[in-house]
Amino acid sequence: MPTVGVVVLSQGTRPAELERGILSLLAQQGVHLDVVCVGNGWEPTGLPGGVQTLGLPTNLGIPAGRNRGVHRVSGEFLFFLDDDASIPDPHFLLDAINKLRADPSIGLLQPRVVDPEGLTSPRRWVPRIRKGEATESSAVFSVWEGAVLLPRAVFDATGGWAEPFFYAHEGIELAWRVWDQGLRAWYAGDLEANHPFMHPTRHAAYYRLNARNRVWLARRNLPTVLIPVYVGSWTLIQLLRWSRNPQALRAWFGGWREGWRTDPGERRALSLRTVWRMTRAGRPPVV
């Protein structure tokens, strides 16, 4: 029976959704689970039985909160679930693990994300430039972080979630570092996780972190020659995307400057072989 360490991250602001997500985990069949709920600036209470809790005195950010949970669970595999996500199929984890075992080239798996009320899912939940059909599976180079499965050995080799990021783009770095192990990140369009549709909140902190982390992502992970190419590509994209929103651009460029002036943390540049593999697979790390 596969063993899975599960990390659920929550700030305690969505108790009903959190309970739904945990119950969907406890309903999984054919796997042995070790589940921890990490309270980011919150002491988890009132949870279903069989779930560990870890209360962090302050909100350390999404990546750091997940990393703290990893140290509390055991298992051959790790599964990360956001507190507003859930798994509708009780065989989901077993089916996902069987995919990993059947294809050793897959080092990380993200399922298709579906609104539980049947609302149209946003295209951003399919982590491809050419979105296509949401039910179509493919290799990907970033992931929606709300439901992610990978072997623990692969996660450990990546160095974990990018703690300095706090929020935004940590799923890109994790996917890149999986590719750097000679593996692939995989979008499984035939497996389903639920998450309610909501418009992402656009505020000054969102734009700032989006830009800062984009620069940090390049500085932490890309060969030196590709850093200005990648950042330059995304600078042009944002200028075009938000040309009619000067407030957003001001906040974005504030984060852009911060990304160059501040320490992004550990640098682990992708090998040129990895860059070539990603290019051949359809997504060179320049955009």
pLDDT digits (tens, 9 = 90+) for 194-234: 999 876 656 678 899 999 999 999 999 999 999 999 999 99
Residue positions counted in the chain? 287
**Measured between alpha carbons, how far is 211 from 186 in angstroms, rounded to an integer?**
26
**Measured between alpha carbons, how far is 121 from 87 in angstroms, rounded to an integer?**
16
What are the residues whose beta carbons fall under 8 Å from the beta carbon of 85, sequence distance 6 or more? 21, 113, 146, 147, 193, 194, 195
**Tens digit of pLDDT for each residue in 85-101?**
999 999 999 999 999 99
Q: In the prediction, which pLDDT does 19 show?
A: 96
**Measured between alpha carbons, how far is 191 from 91 in angstroms, rounded to an integer?**
10
Q: Which domains occur in the chain, in start order?
A: 3-194 (3.90.550.10), 204-270 (no CATH)
Strands of the 52-56 sheet, one edge to the other: 52-56, 32-40, 3-10, 77-82, 147-151, 106-114, 184-194, 138-140
Q: In the prediction, which pLDDT does 202 show?
A: 66
Q: In the prediction, which pLDDT does 201 show?
A: 59
Q: In the prediction, which pLDDT does 129 show?
A: 85
**Measured between alpha carbons, how far is 40 from 225 in angstroms, rounded to an integer?**
37
Q: In the prediction, which pLDDT does 154 show?
A: 98
Residues 187 and 128 sit within 8 Å (Cβ to Cβ): yes
Q: Which residues of the chain have pLDDT under 70?
A: 199-203
Sign of CA dihedral 101, 123, 7, 108: positive
